[in-house]
Amino acid sequence: PNRKTALVYYDECTVRYSNSSFFSEWEQEPVLELLNTGNVSQPERFMQLLGNTMNEIATRAAKGDQLGKKYATQEVNFTAFQTLYTLAQCTPDLSVSDCQTCLTTAITYLPNCCLGKQGGRVVFASCNVRYELYPFYRFTAQQLPPPPPPKPVHSPPALESKGKNKNSSTTIIAIALPVVVSVVIFAGALICILTRKSKKYDAVEQENGNEITTMESLQFDFSTIEAATNKFSVDNKLGEGGFGPVYKGKLPNGQQIAVKRLAVSSSQGLEEYKNEVALLAKLQHRNLVRLLGFCLEGAEKLLVYEFVPNKSLNYFLFDLEKQGELTWTKRCMIIGGIARGILYLHEDSRLKIIHRDLKISNILLDKDMNPKISDFGMARILGVDQSKAKTSRVVGTYGYMPPEYAMHGHFSIKSDVYSFGVIILEIITGKKSSNFQQSDEDEDLLTHVWKHWNNGTPLELLDPSLGNSYSRIEVIRCIHIGLLCVQEDPSQRPTMENIVLMLNSYTVTLVAPQRPATFLIPTTDSNFTANELVSDQSGPSKSTPWSVNQVSISDMDPR
């Protein structure tokens, strides 16, 4: 009755004090229950998925990590467009059994407080659990445990007899001399190793403003990668992109990898290489490809990624034999995953990142057909309070570039939104935005989609390989969202946060789209990129992309 205690809860920390000890014992009171008022579809299936996931991470959290933190998170797909994010955490002083008991008890509260709700949280004094349909925690790479303390150096036994001074001196010299020599040799060797490493690692530079830092932990030896790829054999070659050839490999620990090898003829160079290493080393999200490391030795520039078995999205989408494997459900899942990955780049990571080269061939698919955004060589970081930037070196791929960027070098998060809109329309139609040819008329994919939208025939745009296995409402809504993304005025395009909300909730009303920005591209090469055409806006160029939307169109004439 005389006990005094207080607890303060925040999303990222808890503060607690008491006039009696509360360490190493789990306590329930006081209990705090919070919920997200939004409702989920299929509440029974949702609560079952939630319960299974929560019980799984409760066990992981109770066991703790290498640093002793009793914390675990997990993401699972609920629908094609919705991901369930879960968290369980105990105070680190609890035993495994007490933490497990505390979390299990907290989980039993969820059906009572949060049945069928989109989010909920139960907080006890010693633990808490939470779930949402949006990422509410940061995806951070797990830290390595601290190195073990050095072994104690035992001093030689003390000399007891005063009458043995001469022998004592001889003994001390006999012991000390080899030790001194050993220390000198060791120090010399250490200096040589460090000098050699510093020269090796200085080769890779990470941009931090104008400052350059090194990332030793990510660097591979060339011999390791060469052995992993069987000396870059043709049999291990997966394909080739703008950076150069890509090889499949296997590390000594059995982990499969994909290795990009910069080609001499590549349009990308050291700047793009450094940019990709520097950015991907800071990012971690299930819908971004994971960089495992790099190698920069002599003329060799290599990037080492996780191996993604299903190659890129264009491998399926634009292949007449493989198109059928992309069911409507899978296409919805891919659209939702790409959107979440871009949202992470724009809003949820520590940095505000503009990808600048989003396209179908840069979307990789894992074994479960989950999308992973790749190729960050062209990406740029914006300041926290910065909304847009300008460059005199326009890079990217025509068909995916918004007009303000292609013509004036202006880029912002709305540039990526435009590219995402093109990707949505390609996924729905199964047609490439570049080299699009549907009829004798000279029109691009966006004009073709806009024409059917205005004529009230959007379902005629659907990829024929889907047959009748699709949701009419979902198809029309996705086309609508795609058209909102490719509007000519960047300010009219939605943010990725709003796009994810539109995809997840049918209660969100969509505004009518304006006519999309369209281009007539003076080339027949579908792989022609902007950096090959426009290098400096201050000087003349051979060809200039132009928009057919030279005037604002508010009224549509009848056909």
pLDDT band at 178 (very low <50, low <70, confident <90, very high): low
Residue 498: the pLDDT is 95
- Asked whether 207 and 274 are in contact (CB, 8 A), the reply is yes
103 Cβ contact partners less than 8 Å away, ≥ 6 residues apart: 58, 61, 62, 88, 90, 127, 129
Single out the residue of 528, 516, 359, 363 nearest to residue 435, CA to CA.
528
Residue 313: the pLDDT is 96
Query: How confident is the model over 425-430, as a mean pLDDT?
Result: 96
Instruction: Report d(CA 56, CA 58) in Å as an integer.
Output: 5
Joined tokens for residue 127: 């633990």
Give CA 472 to chain center in angstroms: 31
> Which domains can be identified in the chain, with CATH numbers?
5-132 (3.30.430.20), 216-306 (3.30.200.20), 318-547 (1.10.510.10)
What DSSP element (H or E) covers 365? strand 363-365
Q: Give the CA dihedral 540, 545, 551, 557, nearest 10 degrees.
A: 150
Q: Is residue 505 pLDDT above 90, yes or no?
A: no
Number of alpha carbons in the 13 Å side-chain half-sphere of residue 427: 31
Residue 266: the pLDDT is 59
pLDDT band at 267 (very low <50, low <70, confident <90, very high): low
Q: Is residue 158 pLDDT above 90, yes or no?
A: no
Instruction: Report d(CA 91, CA 255) in Å as an integer.
Output: 34
Q: Is residue 61 pLDDT above 80, yes or no?
A: yes
- Asked whether 204 and 210 are in contact (CB, 8 A), the reply is no
Q: Is residue 44 pLDDT above 70, yes or no?
A: yes
pLDDT band at 558 (very low <50, low <70, confident <90, very high): very low
Which one-letter DSSP state was computed for residue 492?
G
Vertex 385, ends 381 and 388: CA angle to 5°? 55
What DSSP element (H or E) covers 373? strand 371-373
Instruction: Report d(CA 338, CA 495) in Å as an integer.
Output: 14
Instruction: Report d(CA 406, CA 553) in Å as an integer.
Output: 21
pLDDT digits (tens, 9 = 90+) for 143-152: 334 444 554 4
Which one-letter DSSP state was computed for residue 42?
S
- Asked whether 521 and 532 are in contact (CB, 8 A), the reply is no
Instruction: Report d(CA 248, CA 320) in Å as an integer.
Output: 25
pLDDT digits (tens, 9 = 90+) for 313-324: 999 999 988 999
Q: Is residue 129 pLDDT above 50, yes or no?
A: yes
Instruction: Report d(CA 131, CA 136) in Å as an integer.
Output: 9
Q: Is residue 66 pLDDT above 70, yes or no?
A: yes
- Asked whether 363 and 333 are in contact (CB, 8 A), the reply is no
Q: So which residues are the catalytic ones?
A: 357
Q: How many residues does the chain have?
A: 559
Better-predicted residue by pLDDT, 396 or 168: 396
**Helix, strand, coil fractions of the chain, as percent rounded to 5:** 35, 20, 45
Residue 19: the pLDDT is 75
Residue 181: the pLDDT is 56
pTM for the predicted model, two decimal places: 0.59
Instruction: Report d(CA 457, CA 476) in Å as an integer.
Output: 10
501 Cβ contact partners less than 8 Å away, ≥ 6 residues apart: 508
Residue 273: the pLDDT is 82
Which one-letter DSSP state was computed for residue 494?
P
Single out the residue of 314, 305, 318 nearest to residue 243, CA to CA.
305
Instruction: Report d(CA 72, CA 63) in Å as an integer.
Output: 10
Give CA 114 to chain center in angstroms: 30
User: Per DSSP, what are the bridge partners of residue 240?
Assistant: 245
User: Per DSSP, what are the bridge partners of residue 131?
Assistant: 86, 120
Single out the residue of 302, 293, 238, 248 nearest to residue 270, CA to CA.
302
pLDDT band at 527 (very low <50, low <70, confident <90, very high): very low
Among the ranges given (177-181, 190-194, 260-264, 384-388), the one the predictor scored with the smallest mean pLDDT:
190-194
Q: Give the CA dihedral 52, 58, 60, 66, nearest 10 degrees.
A: 160
User: Per DSSP, what are the bridge partners of residue 258?
Assistant: 248, 305
